[in-house]
Amino acid sequence: MASVEQVPAAAKNGTNPGIPVENPATGETIATIPTLSTAEVKALVGRARAAQPAWEAIGFEERGKVLRRAQKWVTDNSERIIATIVSETGKTYEDAQLAEIMYAAAAFGFWAKEAPNLLADEPVKSANPLVKGKKLVVRYRPVGVVGVIGPWNFPLTNSFGDCIPALAAGNSVILKPSEVTPLTSLLMAEGLRASGLPEDVFQVATGDGATGAALIDEVDFVMFTGSTKTGKKVMERAAKTLTPVGLELGGKDPMIVLSDADVERAANAAAYYSMNNGGQVCISIERVYVEAPVYDQFVARVTEKVGKLRQGRSSGPGSVDVGAVTFPPQLDIIDSHVRDAVAKGARVLTGGRVADGPGMFYEPTVLVDVDHTMSCMTEETFGPTLPIMKVADADEALRLANDSPYGLQASVWSKDLRRGEALARRVEAGTVCVNDAQVNYTALELPMGGWKTSGLGTRHGAGGIRKYTQQQTLLVTRFAGKRDPHMFPYKKRTTQLLGKLTRLLYGRGKRD
């Protein structure tokens, strides 16, 4: 397991008292990490800036070698990484293996392979006669130093994961992990060192929100993943230095089950994609709308499945299905959503309360008779709860699905693929799955990003790496005379000729 010994030297010199890191499944303190001050963050960024030009200069191939070695390091050290993730998040072995180890291992290889393609110079052809014969090129240059600020729910995938394309593009990176789960990031710093990453190209700034805020002031791009509330603060802070930001924020993903759905598959998916990682997934199914004809059957199947889930501290593969609530205040939010629903007339079909200790657990919960006056249907719960609402038809489901400030993901379930896809296209969300959920995240070729208050920009796909670069346009004139016709001095005849040319080129369109 990672320990305070893995804290970088700069962090050890921190002047602030340390932050205890707890195992949420047991309540034990497993490490203490320092809070970096503003001056210490500045020093970290100074070193990152000094190291970056050489990292950029070695090119894609050499950087790719380091990333491929890191990929191997992740698979060679997977048990150690899983143990660290499980100890600081309280999640299950499987949640750490499937959604974190597999993701990181794939991501190192993907960005090593794709960075040279996605960031290659792009020759451009223009129809404009003024630039005929000239060389036109768009190129992507790393921004310099990228600050990544991450959440606690996936310390490897969502916190560290965004560092990989930033590094592949040729940037130095400073990662500010959540104070709740910093150990995985520190372990990854060790992994990158062991893989031959040059000193100071990747550093971890441990600390709280103030450390994150200090980082924003110093870097050239901020990649933030976390709540919408903090995301707004990040954007506001970055505006002071006009620093660009990428924001991956909260969600309230709706699931729409149509009457012609495969109810058994939909029920299995609802149980899994609402409860995996203890429901602490930005793209968890957070609310369900079911067409009346299959509502009873769907509710019965989901309740049976959720009721059978084994919850507790993970002691290895296959030991439990649902892990702990990682962040202490989250337990109160989850419970308040359930209490609010019950007070307004909802029924709890299974679960519905904080589980007995030790550790922080909320029982996997199914709620029915819910509506949009209840916070469980409108606010991000981020826990193992599933509210299910009966709707008259697909139009009502769509209206309710879109009745949200969030727009991260959604899913539509129907055996009629044409109908399912047509409905999916009307949902206001960055990603919509038909007869599936969440697995889109594993396809790194697919852009992933939220609409509305769920975010700004995308991760994965071309946008997932180009955001860490500055686009530069190059125009090179190879063959030319001493003076082009449009240059000074202006002459009546040339001006008239240019006017004729404009009419010839653009004035022949049909008029209605």
Cβ-based burial of 209 (10 A; exposed 0-12, middle 13-18, buried ≥19): middle
Q: Does 243 bind ligand NDP (CB under 6 A)?
A: no
Taking CB under 6 A as the binding criterion, the range among 67-75, 144-152, 192-200, 503-511 that sits at the site for ligand NDP is: 144-152
The span from the CA of 244 to the CA of 166, in Å, is 14
Q: Does 450 bind ligand NDP (CB under 6 A)?
A: yes
Residue for token pair 């649902």: 322
Q: Which is nearer to ligand NDP, 390 or 460 (CB)?
A: 460
CB of 145 to ligand NDP, least distance (A): 16
The span from the CA of 254 to the CA of 431, in Å, is 11
Taking CB under 6 A as the binding criterion, the range among 132-140, 219-227, 337-345, 356-364 that sits at the site for ligand NDP is: 219-227
Q: How many other C-beta atoms can be found within 10 angstroms of the C-beta atom of residue 458?
A: 20
Longest alpha-carbon distance in the chain: 90
Taking CB under 6 A as the binding criterion, the range among 118-126, 152-160, 164-172, 496-504 that sits at the site for ligand NDP is: 152-160
Q: Does 183 bind ligand NDP (CB under 6 A)?
A: no
Q: Does 397 bind ligand NDP (CB under 6 A)?
A: no
Q: Which is nearer to ligand NDP, 87 or 185 (CB)?
A: 185
Q: Does 249 bind ligand NDP (CB under 6 A)?
A: yes
Positive or negative: CA dihedral 38, 158, 79, 31: positive
The span from the CA of 338 to the CA of 376, in Å, is 7
Among 176, 337, 460, 467, binds ligand NDP (CB under 6 A): 176
Q: How many other C-beta atoms can be found within 10 angstroms of the C-beta atom of residue 509?
A: 5
Q: Which is nearer to ligand NDP, 142 or 250 (CB)?
A: 250
Size of the site for ligand NDP (CB under 6 A): 31
Taking CB under 6 A as the binding criterion, the range among 21-29, 173-181, 387-395, 490-498 that sits at the site for ligand NDP is: 173-181
| CA 373 from centroid of its chain's CA atoms | 29
Choosing from 282, 286, 291, 376, which is the catalytic residue? Answer: 282
Q: Does 407 bind ligand NDP (CB under 6 A)?
A: no
CB 84 within 8 A of CB 2: yes
Q: How many other C-beta atoms can be found within 10 angstroms of the C-beta atom of residue 141?
A: 13
CB of 362 to ligand NDP, least distance (A): 15
Among 38, 227, 268, 297, binds ligand NDP (CB under 6 A): 227
Q: Does 230 bind ligand NDP (CB under 6 A)?
A: yes
Q: Does 447 bind ligand NDP (CB under 6 A)?
A: no
Q: Which H or E element spans position 347?
A: strand 347-350
Q: Does 156 bind ligand NDP (CB under 6 A)?
A: no
CB 287 within 8 A of CB 376: yes
Residue 218 is among the residues annotated as catalytic for this protein: no
The span from the CA of 335 to the CA of 367, in Å, is 12
Q: Which of residues 61-90 bind ligand NDP (CB under 6 A)?
A: none
The span from the CA of 128 to the CA of 498, in Å, is 13
Q: Does 278 bind ligand NDP (CB under 6 A)?
A: no
Q: Does 314 bind ligand NDP (CB under 6 A)?
A: no
Q: Which is nearer to ligand NDP, 39 or 194 (CB)?
A: 39
Q: Does 208 bind ligand NDP (CB under 6 A)?
A: yes
Q: Which of residues 322-381 bind ligand NDP (CB under 6 A)?
A: 327, 380
Q: Does 24 bind ligand NDP (CB under 6 A)?
A: no
User: Which amino acid appears at position 231 of this protein?
Assistant: G
Beta carbons within 8 Å of 173's beta carbon, 6+ residues apart: 48, 145, 146, 147, 148, 163, 166, 167, 201, 202, 203
Taking CB under 6 A as the binding criterion, the range among 36-44, 109-117, 172-180, 489-497 that sits at the site for ligand NDP is: 172-180
Q: Which is nearer to ligand NDP, 208 or 260 (CB)?
A: 208
CB of 212 to ligand NDP, least distance (A): 3
389 sits in the region (left: phi over 0; alpha: psi -120 to 50; else beta) called beta
Choosing from 94, 114, 248, 286, which is the catalytic residue? Answer: 248
Instruction: Provide DSSP, 55-123.
Output: HHHTHHHHHHHHHHHHHHHHHHTHHHHHHHHHHHH---HHHHIIIIIHHHHHHHHHHHHHHHHHTS-EE
The span from the CA of 90 to the CA of 73, in Å, is 23
Q: Which is nearer to ligand NDP, 180 or 338 (CB)?
A: 180
CB of 380 to ligand NDP, least distance (A): 5
Residue 61 is among the residues annotated as catalytic for this protein: no
Return the active site residues. Answer: 248, 282
For binding to ligand NDP (CB under 6 A), which residues are involved? 149-153, 158, 176, 178-180, 208-209, 212-213, 225-227, 230, 233-234, 248-251, 282, 327, 380, 382, 408, 450, 455
